[in-house]
């Protein structure tokens, strides 16, 4: 079967762009967010406007016949980031709780310094990717990755081959679900293959056709951002309001 024949038969989205939310006050203070519903701060709102414009300019071609489907975690910081893009191009934002951040249990709301002080052994175990956070009710990397990857597959099939899928989520769930989707977890069980993306940065994944297999993907970009994200202005912008 030719590549063109396989492309015509596939039912996945034309492409998938996965975006991390902009900065929050918890990000700035190095606090664990998890499922705590924290909105973007002033800098975060500025960041997502830059990213929304960049995504539109890079990946939306008017009159091309390609549609856009936008899905976000139901937490407000992801929803705000999604709307900074979706409102520009006039499409709705759908929500899916499976794109929520990894649940960090009893550690949510605490700063990195506080964790290091009050739970030194478990904190160091977490830093070494050895699971110290699990003793405080955190969701496992595997479970987080599985729920996110399942959501990606579901929405990709709903989108179909004439649609670019845009997903707006959170740092840890993105790291875990991308690794799960690409099968990295089968090779690196310690989840050291990918790092956490920067605020308002994105990954881009394309379907990879191989015989009749549908669930094969190629990662084209990871931790990509607007040009300004590579400057000090990204975390200290002038005149953000």
pLDDT digits (tens, 9 = 90+) for 5-41: 444 456 899 999 999 999 999 999 999 999 999 999 9
Q: Work out the average pLDDT over 160-182.
A: 95
User: Are the C-beta atoms of 168 and 153 separated by less than 8 Å?
Assistant: no
For the whole model, what pTM was predicted? Answer: 0.92
65-104: per-residue pLDDT in tens? Answer: 999 999 999 999 999 999 999 999 999 999 999 999 999 9
Instruction: Please say whether the beta carbons of 165 and 11 come within 8 A.
Output: no
Pairwise CA distance, residues 208 & 42, whole Å: 39
Q: In this model, does residue 214 exceed pLDDT 80? A: no
Q: Which two tokens stand for residue 211?
A: 């015989």
Contacts of 192 (CB under 8 A, 6+ apart): 129
pLDDT by residue (tens digit) across 113-160? Answer: 999 999 999 999 999 888 999 999 999 999 999 999 999 999 999 999
- The answer to whether the CB of 225 falls within 8 A of the CB of 23 is no
| Span 224-228, average pLDDT | 96
- Is residue 126 within 8 A of residue 172, CB to CB? The reply is no
| Cβ–Cβ < 8 Å for 42, 241 | yes
Residue 210 pLDDT greater than 90, yes or no: no
Q: What is the mean pLDDT of residues 189-194?
A: 59
| Count of alpha carbons within 13 angstroms of residue 216, beta-carbon side | 10
What is the reported pLDDT for 5? 45
Reading the block at residue 235, the tokens are: 């975390």
Secondary structure (H, E, C), the chain: CCHHHHHHHCCCCCEEEEEECCCEHHHHCCECCCCCCCCECHHHHHHHHHHHHHHHHHHCCCCCCCEEEEEECCCHHHHHHHHHHHHHHCCCEEECHHHCCCCCHHHCCCEHHHHHHHCHHHHHHHHCCCCHHHHHCCCCHHHHHHHHHHHHHHHHHHHCCCEEEEEEECHHHHHHHHHHHHCHHHCCCCCCCCCCCCCCCEEEEEECCECCECCCEEEEEEEECCHHHHCHHHCCCCCCC
Q: Are the C-beta atoms of 205 and 218 separated by less than 8 Å?
A: yes
């Amino acid at each position: 079967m030719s590549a063109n024949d396989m492309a015509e038969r596939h039912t996945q989205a034309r492409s998938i762009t996965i975006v991390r939310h902009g900065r929050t006050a918890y990000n700035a203070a190095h606090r664990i967010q998890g499922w705590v519903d924290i909105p973007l701060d002033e800098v975060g709102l500025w960041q997502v406007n830059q990213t929304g414009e960049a995504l539109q300019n890079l990946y939306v071609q008017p009159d091309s016949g390609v549609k856009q489907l936008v899905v976000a975690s139901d937490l407000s910081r992801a929803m705000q980031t999604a709307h900074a893009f979706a409102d520009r191009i006039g499409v709705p934002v759908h929500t899916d709780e499976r794109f929520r951040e990894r649940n960090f249990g009893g550690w949510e709301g605490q700063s990195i310094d506080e964790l290091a002080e009050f739970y030194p052994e478990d904190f160091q175990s977490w830093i070494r990717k050895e699971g110290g956070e699990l003793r405080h009710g955190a969701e496992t990397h595997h479970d987080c990755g599985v729920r996110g990857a399942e959501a990606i597959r579901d929405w990709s099939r709903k989108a179909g081959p004439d649609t670019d899928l845009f997903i707006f989520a959170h740092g840890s769930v993105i790291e875990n679900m991308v690794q799960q989707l690409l099968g990295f977890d089968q090779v690196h069980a310690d989840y050291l293959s990918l790092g956490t993306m920067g605020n308002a940065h994105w990954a881009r994944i394309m379907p990879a056709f191989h015989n009749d297999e549908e669930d094969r993907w190629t990662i084209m970009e990871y931790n990509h951002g607007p040009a300004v994200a590579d400057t000090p202005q990204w975390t200290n912008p002038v005149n953000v309001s």
